[in-house]
Amino acid sequence: MRTARYVAAAGVVVMGLLLVGFMFHMTVNCVYVYEGQSLMLRYKGPVLFGSGKPAASGQFAQAGEVGVLEQLRGPGRHFYCPLWWERQLINDVVVRPGEVAVVTSKMGGDLPTEQFLVEGGIDGATRAQHKGILRKVLGPGRFRVHPYAFDVAIKKSEQRQAGGSTKYSGWVEVPTGYVGVVTYSADDPVLKKKRGVQDQVLPPGIYPINPRAQEIDIVEVGYRETSISVDKHLLADGTEKMDESGEPEAVTRSGIGFPSNDGFNIQIDFTAVWGVMPEDAPYVVSTFGSVEAAEQKVIIPQSESICRNSGSKMGANELLVGETRQKFQTNVSEEFHKVLLDKHLSLLYGLVRHIYIPKEVRVPLQKGYVAAELTLTREEDKITKQAEGTLREAEKKVSQEAEKVRVETLKMVASAVAEGAREVGEIEAATKQQIASVDKQIAELEAKRTELLGKAKSQADQLLNEAQSQKFDLAVKAFGSAAAYSKYEFAEGLPENIQLQLFYAGEGTLWTDLKNITPTLPLMNPAPKPANSPVRNGTPTPR
């Protein structure tokens, strides 16, 4: 009994210890990792006996080494005793749209002095093997990043001014009508790209850009307009002041001004329609910094220089006259196109919009040209009137020819009608003659037909009479005598339904007895006797 009690007590103790151990394991040792978190573990080494080997500096702990483990545990229950393990919950790195994550590696070897960007990723076989900033950034998403190995900095769209242009990085959006010119901060051995502005541009789109590796210049491509205009004198109501010839009065020393070769001050309005093509954007950025800088450094100065150089070689009257003025426009446009071509800029039009010539030169020239134009107008008016007279004469000739054609046409129509009538008469006469000939032939045939029909009828009647005569002779011969044949004919004429009654009449009583005979006499024509009536001894047998 005592032994049983000891065994029972030992069992209770064991069960208690097991329950305590289970509770300790489920409470103290258990770590629950929620969704969006990870568990980072660091092994502390043996507690009571011996000591563990520490991991190499800057490296994860291998099996049995004291240090941080490389693998992060994901959501769920994990059981690690806090006596041996240091446990830490780590939140996932969440990169939202419009953001990028710049990752810095804290583990691995040191980079060469001239390098600061590290190739590789944040986990697996692609994990970075050197310390430094990862060249590749993390785009929008959720990432499990080991905090012992990496630091993460969330960046949005960033801008900075450099050399008169705006540099973009982080979350970069290149809109439609623009391209992105990429500038590398360091060489990229993987893509074999050198530091500096790259020849290949980014088309419109959204790009995650590492601020420490690249910067983007957003350049508008296509054509734009740059104008240099002369300032004009304005009236109180804001309208332009005009001189007596109707030209606006220009403010001196405005627009593009230059002296002509005959000493007059000339001012012009000039417009350049120019632009940057996508393939030329990298050159513009590397040379001028921006498109706006190219406008200030190239377009405006070259417009003024080319117009002055070309215009100073011409006189004031040449700049006013149509042909020489067009020559000036052509020279300016061609020279401007050559200059911009060397600068990797495209010129669509270089237009001299207006030339302001001094009134003392312009008015006499305009009057002279007006007089010349009036002379030309009178000469053209004279030529026009002569041409109008020739036209009227030609119209009369046309009317005469038309009348002549009408008369000739009527004559031809009458002749054609008469010829047609004659041919119709001849055709009618020939037709009547043919009809008479045909009628004659018909009459002759009718006469022959009548004669033949008469002969045929007479012959038929003769043959019929002869046949009847022969028939009578044969019948008489068949019956033996004419009297027998007559009786046959009489019998044939009697009706089939005739009834014969014999009665006796005494002498002198016939006429009185005839009244009884009357009802028995036939009142209708007798039916023909059948051909198969019985004949005996050549005489029909009465019925």
What's the CATH number where 265 sits?
3.30.479.30
- Of 430, 460, 479, the position where a domain reaches its end is 479
* 3-class secondary structure, 51: coil
What is the pLDDT, as a whole number, of residue 518?
52
Are residue 516 and residue 531 in the same domain, yes or no? Answer: yes
Element containing residue 77 per DSSP (H, E): strand 76-79
Q: Is it the case that residue 533 has pLDDT exceeding 50? A: no
Segments forming the whole domain that contains residue 330: 225-357
- Of 36, 60, 89, the position where a domain reaches its end is 89
Phi, psi of 31 (to 5 degrees): -125, 120
3 located within any domain = no
132-134 and 117-118 beta bridge pairing: parallel
What is the pLDDT, as a whole number, of residue 74?
92
170 located within any domain = yes
What is the pLDDT, as a whole number, of residue 128?
82
Q: How far apart are CA 345 and CA 223, in angstroms?
A: 10
Q: Is it the case that residue 506 has pLDDT exceeding 70? A: no
Mean pLDDT of 219-248: 82
Identity of residue 228 = I
More confident residue, 464 or 223: 223
Among 83-97, 136-150, 224-238, the least confident range: 224-238
Are residue 473 and residue 524 in the same domain, yes or no? Answer: no
Are residue 471 and residue 488 in the same domain, yes or no? Answer: no
Mean pLDDT of 218-236: 88
Are residue 144 and residue 168 in the same domain, yes or no? Answer: yes
CA distances (Å), 26 to each of 77, 90, 172, in order? Answer: 10, 21, 49
328 located within any domain = yes
Are residue 164 and residue 246 in the same domain, yes or no? Answer: no
Q: Please write the tens of the pLDDT for every residue from 36-84.
A: 999 999 998 887 676 778 888 878 888 888 999 988 999 999 999 888 8
Q: Would you say 111 and 212 are in contact if contact means Cβ atoms under 8 Å apart? A: no
Q: Please write the tens of the pLDDT for every residue from 107-152.
A: 888 887 778 888 888 887 788 888 899 999 999 999 999 999 999 9
Q: Would you say 70 and 115 are in contact if contact means Cβ atoms under 8 Å apart? A: no
Identify the CA nearest to 260 among candidates 337, 351, 349, 362.
Answer: 362
8 located within any domain = no
Are residue 82 and residue 122 in the same domain, yes or no? Answer: no
367 located within any domain = no
Are residue 414 and residue 467 in the same domain, yes or no? Answer: yes
325 located within any domain = yes
Mean pLDDT of 153-174: 90
Residue that the structure tokens 């030529």 belong to = 383
- Of 322, 357, 392, the position where a domain reaches its end is 357
Are residue 78 and residue 125 in the same domain, yes or no? Answer: no
Angle at 107 between CA 106 and CA 111, to 5 degrees: 85
Identify the CA nearest to 323 among candidates 314, 499, 477.
Answer: 314
What is the pLDDT, as a whole number, of residue 528?
52
* 3-class secondary structure, 250: strand
What is the pLDDT, as a whole number, of residue 523?
47
Are residue 317 and residue 398 in the same domain, yes or no? Answer: no
13 located within any domain = no
Identify the CA nearest to 131 among candidates 166, 164, 106.
Answer: 106
Residue that the structure tokens 């009257």 belong to = 317
Burial (CB < 10 A; 0-12, 13-18, 19+), residue 306, is buried
pTM, 2 dp: 0.58
pLDDT band at residue 184, thresholds of 50, 70 and 90?
very high
501 located within any domain = yes
Contacts of 541 (CB under 8 A, 6+ apart): 533, 534, 535
Q: How far apart are CA 335 and CA 10, in angstroms?
A: 111
Split into its structural domains, the chain has a count of 5
Are residue 240 and residue 343 in the same domain, yes or no? Answer: yes
Identity of residue 45 = G
pLDDT band at residue 540, thresholds of 50, 70 and 90?
very low
Are residue 310 and residue 396 in the same domain, yes or no? Answer: no
Are residue 327 and residue 212 in the same domain, yes or no? Answer: no
Mean pLDDT (the chain, rounded): 84
